[in-house]
Chain A
Amino acid sequence: MKLCQKHGLPIVPRGSGTNLAAGTTPSQGGVVLIFRNMNDIVELDEENLALTVQPGVLTEEIHQYVEEQGLFYPPDPSSGKISTIGGNISENSGGLRGLKYGVTKDYILALEVVLPNGDIVRTGGKLAKDVAGYDLKSLLVGSEGTLGIVTEATLKLIPKPFYKETMLAVYESLEDAAETVSAILANRIIPATLEFMDQGTIQVVEGYKQIGLPTDCEAILLIEQDGPKEIVEQDIEKMYSICKEYGALSLSKAVTEQEAEELTRARKDALSCLAYLSPTTILEDATVPRSKIAPMVREIKKVADKYDVRIHTFGHAGDGNLHPTCATDARDKEEMARVEEAFAEIFQIAVDMGGTITGEHGVGEMKAPYLEWKVGELGIEIMKAIKQAIDPNNIMNPGKVFAKSTKKRVVVSNV
Chain B
Amino acid sequence: MSSAELQSRIQQGFQEEIEETKLLDCMRCGFCLPACPTYIHSNYDEAQSPRGRIALMKAVRDGDLPFDDSVEESLDLCLGCRACEPACPAGVEYGSLLESARNVIQKEKKQSVKEKVVRHAAFDHLFKDQQKMNRTAGMVKFYQRSGLQTLTRKMGILSFFPSVMKDMEKVLPRIEKNEVEKGVVYEGKRQNKKVAFFTGCLMEPMFSKTNEATVNLLQELGCDVWVPEHQVCCGALQGHSGELDKARENAKQNIESFLEMDVDYIVNNAGGCGAFLSEYDHLLKDEPELLEKAKAFSDKIIDITSLIYELGLTEKGLSYIGDKEITVTYQDSCHLRNVNLVKDEPREILKSIENVHFVDLKSADQCCGSAGIYNLVQPEMSIRILDNKMEDVESTHASIIITTNPGCLLQMKMGIERAGLSDQMEALHLVDFIQKYILEN
Of B9-17, B19-27, B317-325, B374-382, the one touching chain A: B19-27
- Chain B residue numbers with a CB within 8 Å of A81 are 31, 34
Which residues of chain B have a CB within 8 Å of any CB of chain A?
Answer: 20-21, 24-25, 27-31, 33-34, 43-44, 46, 89-91
A331 at interface, CB cutoff 8 A:
yes
Contacts of A331 in B (CB 8 A): 20, 24
- Taking A18-B30, A281-B90 as contacts, is the C-beta distance between A329 and B44 under 8 angstroms? no
Tell me whether chain A's interface is mostly helix, strand or loop, or mixed.
Answer: loop
Secondary structure at the B interface, as helix, strand, loop or mixed, is loop
In the complex, which residues of chain B have a beta carbon less than 8 angstroms from the beta carbon of A17?
Answer: 28, 30, 46
Whether A82 sits at the interface, judged by CB under 8 Å, is yes
Shortest CB distance B55–A (Å): 10
- Please name all residues of chain A whose beta carbon is closer than 8 Å to the beta carbon of B27 when the two chains form the complex: 275, 280-281
Q: Taking A37-B44, A275-B89 as contacts, is the C-beta distance between A82 and B33 under 8 angstroms?
A: yes
Flag whether A276 is at the interface (Cβ < 8 A).
yes
* A212 contacts the other chain (CB 8 A): no
CB–CB A280/B90 < 8 A: no
Q: Does A190 contact B (CB under 8 A)?
A: no
Q: Is A272 in contact with chain B by the CB < 8 A criterion?
A: yes
> Do residues A275 and B33 form an inter-chain contact, with CB atoms below 8 A?
no
Closest residue of chain A to B21, judged by CB?
A279
Indicate whether A275 sits within 8 Å of B44 (C-beta atoms), given known contacts A16-B30, A17-B30: no
Question: CA separation between A279 and B24, bound complex, in Å?
Answer: 5
B44→A34 contact, CB < 8 A:
yes
Closest to A14 in B: B46
CA distance A280 to B29 in the complex (A): 12
Interface members, chain A 31-48 (any B CB < 8 Å)? 34, 36-37
Please indicate which of the listed interface residues B20, B25, B29, B30 has the most CB atoms of chain A within 10 Å of its own CB: B29
B146 to chain A, nearest CB (A): 38
B33 to nearest A CB, angstroms? 5
B24:A280 contact, CB within 8 angstroms: yes
Write 15 A-B pairs (CB below 8 A) sorted by A numbering: A18-B29, A79-B29, A79-B31, A81-B31, A82-B29, A82-B30, A82-B34, A271-B89, A275-B91, A279-B21, A279-B24, A280-B24, A281-B90, A330-B24, A331-B20
Q: Measured between alpha carbons, how far is A176 from B89 in the docked complex, in Å?
A: 31
Chain B, residue nearest A79 (CB): B29
* B28 in contact with A272 (CB, 8 Å): no
In chain A between 70 and 101, which residues have their CB closer than 8 angstroms to a CB of chain B?
Answer: 79, 81-82
Return the contact of B90 from the options A37, A79, A275 (Cβ within 8 A): A275
Known interface pairs A34-B44, A37-B43, A279-B21; A16-B89 also in contact (CB < 8 Å): no
Which residues of chain A come closer than 8 Å to B33, judged between CB atoms? 16, 82
- Cross-chain contact of B31 among A36, A58, A82 (Cβ < 8 A): A82
B29 proximity list for chain A (CB < 8 A): 18, 79, 82
Q: How far is the CA of A34 from the CA of B43 in the complex (A)?
A: 11
Known interface pairs A34-B44, A271-B89, A276-B90; A329-B24 also in contact (CB < 8 Å): yes
